[in-house]
Amino acid sequence: MLQENKAGPGLQPAQASVQRGRMPPTQPTHGQFALTNGDPLNCHSYLSGYISLLLRAEPYPTSRFGSQCMQPNNIMGIENICELAARMLFSAVEWARNIPFFPDLQITDQVALLRLTWSELFVLNAAQCSMPLHVAPLLAAAGLHASPMSADRVVAFMDHIRIFQEQVEKLKALHVDSAEYSCLKAIVLFTSDACGLSDVAHVESLQEKSQCALEEYVRSQYPNQPTRFGKLLLRLPSLRTVSSSVIEQLFFVRLVGKTPIETLIRDMLLSGSSFNWPYMAIQ
């Protein structure tokens, strides 16, 4: 339950759940970097070293990030799934704050990139931690009970939930590993599509760097899957078919009420680990 705060005084419950899962800061080392799936990544090249830094930036160990979700038959309540969603959103922002090059961008560019891509990063995190999306209709039903909408809107809303579920399942079907997820998130984050960027060419170069790192990694780690790199890249455009407003309504309205997610993202980015959720008690 979100109301149970074991993280000590001064932390809001949703923030407390985030803080419980945080890893102590670590410095990347040379040589080998052990991936969470047990495969070593030899950092002999600059690009694979870049991947190790992307991995090190993750604020949660994969083993705990979605530990409640990893059991296929585990039943999670609405409070638990909303808490997990909050953790995943915070994780996406915290990860971005700690990866190479992103902190060096102007703060307005950082905010613009995260505001545009947060929902895509959320879908990637949902797939990575095997988020139990069978509860999505239950969440929707609870939300509709609290805030009724017309029949047409209900049909459209449930259709968007189906799209979200499909995107997650397609990623899971590819058995994407931790290094690949990190590269995919960097490719998504460093997009020149964000409005008002001060240096579009630089952001494009960072996206290309991330794409090259993924290509090198896939070719070295999966030599018997020559189409794997292409299949991974082809998953990215469809992430934008997932409605950010539906994700917001589905997972975050119960936590933050009418506070826009874009506002939360800006506040998270600026305040970092000291961020306090505008928590609302779950009814």
Helix axes 13-20, 78-98, angle to 10 degrees: 60
User: pLDDT grade, residue 278 (50/70/90)?
Assistant: low
- pLDDT score for 92: 93
Instruction: Tell me if 68 is assigned to some domain.
Output: yes
Least confident of 117-126, 235-244, 246-255: 246-255
For residue 283, being part of any structural domain is answered with no
pLDDT at residue 140 in the model: 61
The total number of structural domains that make up the chain: 1
Average pLDDT over residues 128-137: 71
What gap in Å lies between CA 104 and CA 97, rounded to an integer? Answer: 10
Decide if pLDDT at 252 tops 50. yes
More confident residue, 33 or 78: 78
Residue 273 confidence class, pLDDT cut points 50, 70, 90: low
- CB-neighbour burial class of residue 189 (10 A; exposed 0-12, middle 13-18, buried 19+): buried
Q: Which of 2-6, 90-94, 156-160 has the highest mean pLDDT?
A: 90-94
Q: How far is the C-alpha of 255 from the C-alpha of 278, rounded, in Å?
A: 8
Place of tokens 């306090």: 276
**What is the model's pLDDT at position 250?**
80
Beta bridge partners of 276: none
Looking at the domain assignment, is residue 165 inside a domain?
yes
Domain with 249 in it? 13-274
Per-residue pLDDT, averaged over 9-17, amounts to 39
CATH code, domain with 243: 1.10.565.10
Say if 3 falls within a structural domain: no
Share of the chain above pLDDT 90, in %: 43
Q: Residue 20: is its pLDDT beyond 60?
A: no
